[in-house]
Chains A and B, each alone.
With several copies, the nearest count.
Chain A
Amino acid sequence: MYNEKVIDHFQNPRNAGEMFDPSGVGEVGNMKCGDIMKIFIKVENDRIEDISFLTFGCGAAIASSSMLTELVKGKTLDEAMKITNMDVANHLGGLPEAKLHCSNLAADALHKAIEDYRSKVQ
């Protein structure tokens, strides 16, 4: 079902866990659909210096959270805003059709976290 890269991110998730003093947080999903993700970012000089996630969800949800954090770490906020859920799936080498729309929401959570940060610094 899942390819090896997805399995690797699921088994060895990068940047999993809470962050204690985040610059911004973003959360998406709901209990009905079964996947909920929260992204924490630490921003310095308009760059994502650190990032972490918490996810309740299926293998695809965990792997895409992990992949997203790896993708954007060190990127500027503007660069990070351009990353889409589809980019995440592509970097994972693809996800099963059924998972593309329900479990692949990490970029949305990131964008919310950036908005959260921006709303706070304004």
Chain B
Amino acid sequence: MKRIYLDHGATTPMHPQVLEAMLPFFGQVFGNPSSIHSFGREARRALEESREKTALALGAAPGEIIFTSGGTEADNLAIQGVAEALSGKGRHLITSAIEHHAVLDTFKALSKKGFEVTLLPVDRYGMVDPDDLVSALRDDTILVSVMMANNEIGTLQPIEELSRICREKGVYFHTDAVQAIGNIPVNLKELPVDLLSLSAHKFYGPKGVGALFVRRGTKLGKLFFGGGQEKKQRPGTENLPGIVGLAKAIELAVVDIPGKAAAMAALRDRLIGSLLEQIEEVQLNGHPVQRLPGNVNVSIKYVEGEGLLLDLDLKGIAASSGSACTSGSLEPSHVLMACGLDHQTAHGSLRLTLGHNNTAEDVDYAVEIIKGSVARLREMSLLYKNYRRKNDNPQTGEEETSCITKK
């Protein structure tokens, strides 16, 4: 069976050159970068070269890069770290309603520890309004965190404007750029953010390694205590092969972003167009223009997302959904709900995230498969039958559905 991977927002396959760059560090160059002998020094050299490459790709200085075990740790280090370092100055924090759980749940945990958290709302496209940030800022605000690109709906936030507002007020600004790196240009020389998180496996690098950019002079507490690694900011023997892989991946990722993004956006728009045209009752979620070049998120009404994913998977298409049934919790995606979708529309969401290996052929093939799956599932969907009936005899009111919720 032909398998097509359309879930690059979840993770990406590693670039072959990244593996090639990593391999020596699983072999001869196995030293601990903290050791002072030649084995250690070779390792240290590779570590510092990786830091330089990573910094260069972001427009940062090498001393501003802290390697972590991934995006989640980077987000936690930024948020918990600032909260700890500045708790004497103030206890008010601001974030958006559509952040990834690594950010949102960290703020939730802080709100249980005596911090006050303001959630900025988003419009129907998932966009934060800078005016809302201006109104939310207080004298005791110590940190604002707004993601650069949303992982579910792909919406790009006005980070330049948001961060400038914070810079003027002297408030630290963190952005979760986990989905942005490699997809849109990021130049930290010009963007006044103080902290930025990234995760290698989202841009064709290895899993289990990420980084936090910490602008020089930014005060930051820490999550772990231990050895002197990463300027004591993040102790533990460094994941050297992973770090070398991250550096290689980001080096590759930032080559000709505009060109790659344009090609991918064209593919994305072809996919969106086909879905909207060829399937009835489909709506696009997220922003029509300000969105990640590879992100497609649609709600296919009267079909439940997890069932659709399963059917697609059985036919070789790998995708994801904001349906509650895929999350383990009983709630549908907080992102779609924050955009104002009703439960039914949120349950019927389908996210397709393109990667560099996807072709127009893949896209067209996927559309065919999705069409078939949707038709099959709608055929047994109570909601679809109700909709058809209402459409055919518009006078009939929709029945109430009773609810049995068990736990």
Contact = CB atoms under 8 A, between A and B. Distances in A.
Interface of A: 1-2, 7, 10-11, 13, 16-18, 27-38, 53-62, 98-99, 101-103, 105, 108
Residue from the set A27, A30, A38, A56 with the largest chain B CB neighbour count within 10 Å: A56
B310 A58 contact: yes
A102 B406 contact: yes
Closest 5 CB pairs of A and B: A30-B403, A58-B306, A58-B325, A54-B382, A16-B380
Chain A interface, >50% SS class: mixed
A71 to B, nearest CB: 18
B385 A54 contact: yes
Contacts of B1: none
A61 B307 contact: yes
A70 to B, nearest CB: 15
B401 A36 contact: yes
Contacts of A36: 382-383, 401
Contacts of A108: 404
B402 interface: yes
Nearest to B306: A58
B332 interface: yes
Contacts of A34: 304, 306, 323-325, 330, 332, 343, 347
B381 A11 contact: no
Interface residues of B, number: 34
A13 B405 contact: no
Contacts of B383: 36, 56
B397 to A, nearest CB: 15
A30 B332 CA distance: 13
Contacts of A13: 380
Nearest to A6: B310
Contact of A62 (B380, B384, B385): B380
Nearest to B345: A31
B379 interface: yes
28 contacts: A1-B41, A7-B314, A10-B307, A11-B311, A11-B314, A16-B380, A17-B380, A27-B382, A27-B401, A27-B402, A29-B403, A31-B343, A32-B343, A33-B403, A34-B304, A34-B306, A34-B325, A54-B380, A57-B304, A57-B307, A57-B325, A58-B307, A59-B307, A60-B325, A101-B407, A102-B325, A103-B325, A105-B406
B402 to A, nearest CB: 6
A55 B304 CA distance: 9
A35 to B, nearest CB: 7
Given A34-B347, A56-B304, A56-B382, A29 B404 contact: yes
Nearest to A96: B328
Given A7-B314, A98-B328, A58 B323 contact: yes
A18 to B, nearest CB: 6
B343 A55 contact: no
B375 interface: no
Contacts of B323: 34, 58
Given A7-B310, A28-B404, A108-B404, 7 more contacts: A30-B404, A31-B401, A33-B330, A34-B343, A35-B304, A56-B304, A56-B382
A32 B403 contact: yes
Contacts of A56: 302-304, 381-384
A10 B306 CA distance: 12
B316 to A, nearest CB: 14
B111 interface: no
Contacts of A18: 385
A31 B402 contact: no
A28 B36 CA distance: 26
Interface in B384-400: 384-385
